[in-house]
Amino acid sequence: MSERYATIAEQLGKWQQGHLLTFWDELAEPQRAALLDSLADSVDCAALDEAFRRAMATATSTKEDLNELLKPLARERYLSVAEATEVELEDLRQAGLEQIRQGRVGVILLAGGQGTRLGSTAPKGTYNVNLPSGKSLFQLQAERIRKLQQLAGGEGRIRWYIMTSEHTHTETLDYFRQHQYFGLPPDQVRMFRQRSVPCVDFEGRILLDEKWKVATAPDGNGGIYRALKDEGILDELEREGVLYLHAHSVDNILIKVADPVFVGYCVRKGADCGVKVIEKVQPDEAVGVVCEVKGKYQVVEYSELSSETANRRNPTDGKLTFNAGNICNHFFTSAFLRRIAETTMPLHVAKKKIPYVDVATGERLKPTAPNGIKMEKFIFDVFPLAERFVALEGRREEEFSALKNADTAGIDCPSSVRGDIYRLHRKWLIKAGATEVLDAADASFDCEISPLLSYAGEGLETAAAGQSFRCPVHLTGADEREQH
């Protein structure tokens, strides 16, 4: 270990990071080994120095004012589900189901985050929002995959690639094993870690989380591209014959996993990269918008829009001109992912309050103000690299409800996403022929339909036609009924 220590110490000294070994003499042997492992695994001083300088240069440079350059998405590259006919949508749905039937569709789930704002350190995908079924986000998404495969028929499987982080990987894997992968064959589910990046102070000095451990953070959802290559996923896609990927974040409880309409639309348009959006209806809603800038497509953050631009409306229909709200819902071809795998992604600086060990005193401190930065990559920063980019606008009430906060926030929280599921499933029953769906005596309308019974409202006529329901309503699939 002394030779290893000497090598690492020399490198740290060369890059002014020698403070990371300040407490070496007081560490026990297991802690020394852990520190050297931490330094060897997560600290590439030269790459980190270059990344820090690049990130800081981007953060401090004068940004070009985009507001004069923005154009809304071109109509030939954009389809609104609300404006399409049922015949058009069914045609796209069948096209997507055919790709699933052929085994050409995979899903990439971005699941590296913890439920910190929900008051939990567990992976966010394990969170239970207290639906009648008690199902977690992971379970709901797994069951949608199972149902969609059933609807597609044939032997095709939807390969599920779950990107975790160093903070969530082991717990996520254990969770799936404990729940028998929610009915999916274990070899259909592939977990892989996104990379972590050391946290640094405002001078670029790496922070210690413990005397024997570097402070790190996941490299953002844009780390997916490098992780897919490094973890061998790109080669697996080729071996498995997976041509199309649906990528999405774990916290959208209404997500249509591998949505055949979205897949069918992107394939029909010959897209190498696509995005599903929802209509932004309030100018000040805190979502980025997908726009055209100098002939390329990109996401413009809401903070970059001037008040005039954010409030601009179309004279024809009165809708916001820039209303393609980004919800982290993407389509990629596997060929596109391989082409951009080596691309140097932009780095975004996030100033954070990062717990750290003071090298002067050895005390671990929890700052009350930002004391350092985390460098992140964003998944949508590859949009300008697309050769053929398209967008599909879904209905918000059917497609998007994000779980981000505790109930005290009153928005994007367990009670709000639960209510969104109840409203959607109640609507499904009425559309399927239910005469009424009445509130419970306490005026609540708890209404949940298992994904194993219906993926998106289809096939409910037998259960609903001519029926009157009083909440709470909980309809389950045949597999679930057999288990009880």
- Which DSSP letter does residue 185 get? -
- The whole domain housing 133 covers 65-404
Give the residue from 378, 404, 430 where a domain finishes: 404
Q: Are residues 362 and 437 in the same domain?
A: no
pLDDT in tens, 249-306: 999 999 999 999 999 999 999 999 999 999 998 999 989 999 999 899 999 988 888 8
pLDDT value of residue 63: 60
State whether residue 397 is helix, strand or coil: helix
Average pLDDT over residues 182-204: 94
Pick from 329, 277, 331, 324: nearest CA to 302: 324
Pick from 275, 278, 264: nearest CA to 400: 278
pLDDT for residue 482 is more than 70: no
Q: Are residues 393 and 425 in the same domain?
A: no
Helix (H) or strand (E) holding 7: helix 2-14
- What is the C-alpha separation between 168 and 107, in angstroms, rounded? 19
Q: Are residues 451 and 375 in the same domain?
A: no
Residue 77 corresponds to which tokens in the numbers above?
């590259």
- What is the C-alpha separation between 267 and 339, in angstroms, rounded? 18
Pick from 463, 465, 429: nearest CA to 447: 429
| Contact between residue 346 and residue 58 where contact means Cβ atoms under 8 Å apart | yes
> Does 20 fall in a domain?
no
Handedness of CA 403, 252, 224, 114 (dihedral sign): positive
Q: Are residues 391 and 439 in the same domain?
A: no
Q: Which of 216-220, 367-371, 423-427, 480-484 shows the lowest per-residue confidence on average (mean pLDDT)?
A: 480-484
Rg of the chain's alpha carbons, rounded to an integer? Answer: 24
pLDDT in tens, 369-424: 999 999 899 999 999 999 999 999 999 999 999 999 999 998 999 999 999 999 99
pLDDT value of residue 61: 60
State the amino acid at position 295 in one-letter form.
G
pLDDT value of residue 458: 96
> Does 37 fall in a domain?
no
Q: How confident is the model at residue 45 (pLDDT cuts 50, 70, 90)?
A: confident
pLDDT in tens, 152-162: 998 999 999 99
Which residues 6+ apart lie within 8 Å of 353 measured at CB? 366, 367, 368, 369, 370, 371
Q: How confident is the model at residue 448 (pLDDT cuts 50, 70, 90)?
A: very high
Average pLDDT over residues 351-356: 92
Q: Which residues of 383-416 are buried (b: 16+ CB within 10 A; e: fewer)?
A: beebeebbbbbbebebbbbbbbbeeeeeeebbeb
Give the residue from 404, 433, 458 where a domain finishes: 404
Average pLDDT, whole number, for the chain? 92
pLDDT value of residue 1: 55
Of the chain, the percentage scoring pLDDT greater than 70 comes to: 97
Q: How confident is the model at residue 348 (pLDDT cuts 50, 70, 90)?
A: confident
pLDDT value of residue 398: 97
pLDDT value of residue 4: 86
Strand-pairing partners, residue 325, are 278, 289
Q: Are residues 92 and 228 in the same domain?
A: yes
> Does 38 fall in a domain?
no
Q: Are residues 274 and 324 in the same domain?
A: yes
Residue 153 corresponds to which tokens in the numbers above?
């028929």
- What is the C-alpha separation between 58 and 53, in angstroms, rounded? 9
Q: Nearest 5°: phi and psi at 12?
A: -60, -40
CATH of the domain at 438: 2.10.10
Give the residue from 404, 437, 454 where a domain finishes: 404
The pTM for the full model equals 0.91
pLDDT in tens, 14-35: 999 999 999 999 999 999 999 9
- What is the C-alpha separation between 192 and 207, in angstroms, rounded? 26
- Domain total for the chain? 2
Residue matched to tokens 């050769």: 387
Average pLDDT over residues 458-478: 92
